[in-house]
Structure 1
Amino acid sequence: MTLTNDYPALKAQYEAAGQGHVFTFYNDLSAQEQEAFLDQLKMFDPEELSKIALKAMGESKQPAVKQQACLEPLPRNVTDKVCSASADRKEGWKKLGMDLIRQNKVAVILMAGGQGTRLGSDAPKGCYDIGLPSHKSLFQLQAERILRLQALARGDREEESIIPWYIMTSGPTHEPTCEFFEKHNYFGLSRDNVIFFKQGVMPCFTEDGKLMLQEKGKLAIAPDGNGGIYSALHREGIIASLKKRGVLYSHCYCVDNSLARVADPVFIGYCASKSTDCGIKVVPKSHPEEPVGVVCKCDDKYGVVEYSEISKELAFKRQEDGTLAFGAANIANHFFSTEFLERVPSFAHTLAYHVAHKKIPYTDLTNGQFIKPTKNNGVKLERFVFDVFGHSHAFSVLEVGRALEFSPLKNGSGAGVDCPETSRADILQQHAQFIIEAGGHVKDGVSIEISPLVSYAGEGLEIVKGKTVIQSGVVKTIEDLKQMLA
């Protein structure tokens, strides 16, 4: 359907789809406001929107618990565990990953559309300072991990190794994110290799499938979920950019994981060694009823099943080795081949939208008053990044250690879980572990923060062997670390 700014034609199309009420206040708008409203309306196909909404809401009313016969644990041939892999295998994965980085075949795609509202901040979540001694933001920590990997890959060569960083923002976070990077001079990265792009939006609906007005001349809209990344990659020219740069593989993750190993060469190498087109990192569930989605097979396809969709019997089911049969916890940490990302449009029409019941501010159609609801009054439709797993031709799963690689920032200070305090503690504990694994010790009560520019994953810290860190502080250089040893 072709939509234009021609008012009568556009109104007729919305009325035919049962959504003509959006024009209730059209005549109250100024000419400029009318033009802006028509511009927004023509972005959407009202007939298709209505079908999507009614289908999604109908499916959401189905029984939440999946039939046991539909769910299967991950087969062993698609999974590996870093903790049990031999040193030679891990080194082989790492070497392959570093070789690909050295050849400029690897990119990073960051999902950073979230705001820090729950953290008590109006800024994008990536700008948040979790209270480390260095006071580095999440964006800075991740940028410096990229810088360190580029330096390790380059080694003594004159030719630079580049890991382009594609950052997906949302409407509210786009400008603040761009300004934050500009203000901080891109944290030392070349601005040519940091590319921002926006995820899409979907209109909000009432519980009976009607479009909602935020203002008299504006639909209520919301980001289309992290699964909107796939259409955004095509719409915003990112696929074309990846191909132009010769990038074969991308690491895609969420900004709120403070321990994310950005462009992890072990993960990249592991997936590439198996000719993976779509891969995921997982951590073992902490207990059977931990409220996390799990990666498994559903109806003979790979996917993520929410904890609420698994029966208690399956949640507690064990395999022969004693591990949970459904224990691969999803941490939104992905590997994609460029070829896979390029073909997503061929099956995108089969991907379902998920319903989220929310409190959505709206304009009352009966009196034109703006209402800020105190309870859920509508739905937002979104797709999830893992919805594509079932279309993979070569799916792989790598289990990693939770303490070393996963510390999400979801809640405000003082929450006690997934909050600034836990993220900060997890990073400092990880850095203490780096010292221990390098053969050193950390004196009781001493807290040490190691800049990612000094060490990405514990490498380069040999000087601590047989010595003890006796002074708290931030390690900006190896010389700083030397001053802290005894």
Structure 2
Amino acid sequence: MQGDMEVGSMRAELAKHGQEHLLNHWDSISTEEKKLLMKELQELDFKELNEYFNRTVGELESAGQKLDDRMEPLDEDQCGAMVKSTNEELDHYESLSMSEIGEGRVGILLLAGGQGTRLGTSYPKGMYDVGLPSGKTLFQLQAERILKLERLAAARTGKDGKITWYIMTSASTVGPTQAFFSSNNYFGLKQENIVVFQQGTLPCFTFQGKILLAEKHKLSRAPDGNGGLYRALRVQGVLEDMKKRGIKSIQLYCVDNILVKVGDPVFMGYCLAKGAECANKVVRKGFPTEAVGITCKVDGHYQVVEYSEITNSSAERKNHDGSLVYSAANICIHFFTFEFLERVVTKNEKSLQHHVAKKKIPFVDESGEIVSPSTPNGIKMEKFVFDVFRFANNFVVWECLRDEEFAPLKNAEGAKDFTPSYCRNALLSLHQKWLKMAGAQIVSGSGTEYPLMTSPASEGNNNSESIEDEPEVVLTEICPLLSYAGEGLEPLVSGKKLTPPIHLTLSS
């Protein structure tokens, strides 16, 4: 049982920071619950938490403030693009990256803390199967892309370097994620090259700055946002692991993007060629008012600005050639050098601004009853992963093609967009395109050639019709172990007529 002196000391500490209510139910909880609550309270830095809250409230008061007068576009020489690059340039970028992979200097950071709540599941989103002919999950597709990239680098450089895959989970997804990889033999990757770690949590507050209780003996907590990555890299020992392995170049992405080119050698090579320490991969905005964050400069610092933070006049502003001035839409795929990441983690992380998420947060009231509010009653504080852009001295942007690289899984079937069907069809459409480019004809049983599917991930189309309105789906799936990004298919399919369903694997 907790000693009276220890409890008294904690009451005094809580009173100093206006949080004495957290022990209101002390006399009605069990001995074991008292131990748990005391341990949780002792691990908190209340002075730091209050500073976080006060800064966050300041951000809340300025939320909605338009940034138009403080914004400016990126310089043209900072912005590379697939469509503006020659084949020779793209090959050069790939070569630079393959050398890095061959030397074992590449790390990949995956943000995979989310459960599939909006998908109607309780397991990690990476374990979701969108219904491909192969039945592969997001985790498996991404693992196989990494394995193929390692093999391509080995073939190109003659060096058997490995990519280290760092997977950030949450408290609720760490166990299932580890078990899933273990039961699937790490999808052919070496276990020692997959590092699973957890992001942190922060207490939830009322609008008046009081920490909420989820139970009489337990604080209400929420993940600290994808920007909590930087603290987790430090406290979980990941940064130190990177240093020991000699990792120099790191790419980051989110688990829900079924088209993601994990460890993209073109993007990384562009960054290496430009000497960039930090970079953002983007897609072109489909239309001026598309609800996406855009990459630009604010007060001279690089930043992602949410669509709600600018006026329509800025969103619609155009260059002389008719293109949008602010067109670099954020898709949460970033590049960092290790030196930049180390500097951010050790020097800048604590100064990152927390952002506000107003939420309906269940809480224990004064009588000890759990209340489920019908309107937002508190805030969750979170940091954004891209907020470190402002600390970069040499920053670049790489624009990729949306229908080849971005189709996020967000919602259950029946929603307007970003459903499992949307993601599945985006991948099938891309693979049909690869086969056509490799010289194959895809024909029906009667010999009629299928037209190319219109990808649901094509620019400007992702927020329009539901997937059910798309034209006929052509079942064409290519295993990532056979082709990372459409390469190497000509010897297999050129000049051939293929009839769906088509599922090409290494043994095909």
TM-score under structure 2 normalisation? 0.91
* Structure 1 gap ranges (5+): 481-486
Match of 2:481 in 1: 453
In 1, the alpha carbon distance for the partners of 2:323 and 2:43 equals: 49
Offset, 1:158: 7.3
In 2, the alpha carbon distance for the partners of 1:100 and 1:72 equals: 34
Secondary structure of 2:205's partner?
Answer: coil
Task: Name the stretch that deviates more: 409-418 or 168-177.
Answer: 409-418
Secondary structure of 2:15's partner?
Answer: helix
- List aligned pairs for 1:76-475, cutoff 5 A: 76-155=76-155, 160-344=160-344, 345-364=346-365, 366-443=366-443, 444=450, 446-463=474-491, 464-475=493-504
Secondary structure of 2:88's partner?
Answer: helix
CA offset digits 1:84-141 (Å, max 9, x no partner) = 1111111111111111111111111100000001001110000001111111010000
Q: Is the 8 A contact 1:151 1:161 kept in 2?
A: no
Offset, 1:54: 2.5
Q: Quick one: which amino acid aligns to residue 473 of structure 1?
A: I
Secondary structure of 1:415's partner?
Answer: coil
CA offset digits 1:336-384 (Å, max 9, x no partner) = 11111111131223211000011111111x2101122232221100000
Offset, 1:40: 1.1
Give the number of aligned pairs. Answer: 474
In 2, the alpha carbon distance for the partners of 1:63 and 1:109 equals: 30
In 1, the alpha carbon distance for the partners of 2:442 and 2:9 equals: 72
The percent of aligned pairs where both chains have the same amino acid is 44
In 2, the alpha carbon distance for the partners of 1:207 and 1:399 equals: 40
CA offset digits 1:220-259 (Å, max 9, x no partner) = 0000000000110111111111111111011110000111
Q: Quick one: which amino acid aligns to residue 152 of structure 1?
A: L
In 2, the alpha carbon distance for the partners of 1:7 and 1:266 equals: 58
Q: Is the 8 A contact 1:65 1:311 kept in 2?
A: no
Change (3 A) 1:8 1:31: same
Task: Name the stretch that deviates more: 92-101 or 156-165.
Answer: 156-165
Task: Name the stretch that deviates more: 34-43 or 100-109.
Answer: 34-43
Offset, 1:63: 5.3
In 1, the alpha carbon distance for the partners of 2:245 and 2:63 equals: 46
Q: Is the 8 A contact 1:293 1:306 kept in 2?
A: yes
Q: Quick one: which amino acid aligns to residue 357 of structure 2?
A: A
* Structure 2 gap ranges (5+): 444-449, 451-471
Change (3 A) 1:159 1:85: closer
Q: Is the 8 A contact 2:98 2:157 kept in 1?
A: no
Match of 2:8 in 1: 8
Change (3 A) 1:159 1:270: closer
In 2, the alpha carbon distance for the partners of 1:169 and 1:471 equals: 37
Secondary structure of 2:84's partner?
Answer: coil
In 2, the alpha carbon distance for the partners of 1:197 and 1:424 equals: 29
Q: Quick one: which amino acid aligns to residue 458 of structure 1?
A: G
Secondary structure of 2:319's partner?
Answer: coil
Q: Quick one: which amino acid aligns to residue 166 of structure 2?
A: Y
Offset, 1:465: 2.0
In 2, the alpha carbon distance for the partners of 1:156 and 1:287 equals: 40
Q: Quick one: which amino acid aligns to residue 333 of structure 2?
A: N
Task: Name the stretch that deviates more: 112-121 or 155-164.
Answer: 155-164
In 2, the alpha carbon distance for the partners of 1:392 and 1:42 equals: 36
Q: Quick one: which amino acid aligns to residue 478 of structure 2?
A: I
Task: Name the stretch that deviates more: 69-78 or 48-57.
Answer: 48-57
Supply the RMSD in Å over aligned alpha carbons.
Answer: 1.5
Task: Name the stretch that deviates more: 12-21 or 165-174.
Answer: 12-21
* Deviating 4+ runs (over 3 angstroms): 156-159
TM-score under structure 1 normalisation? 0.95
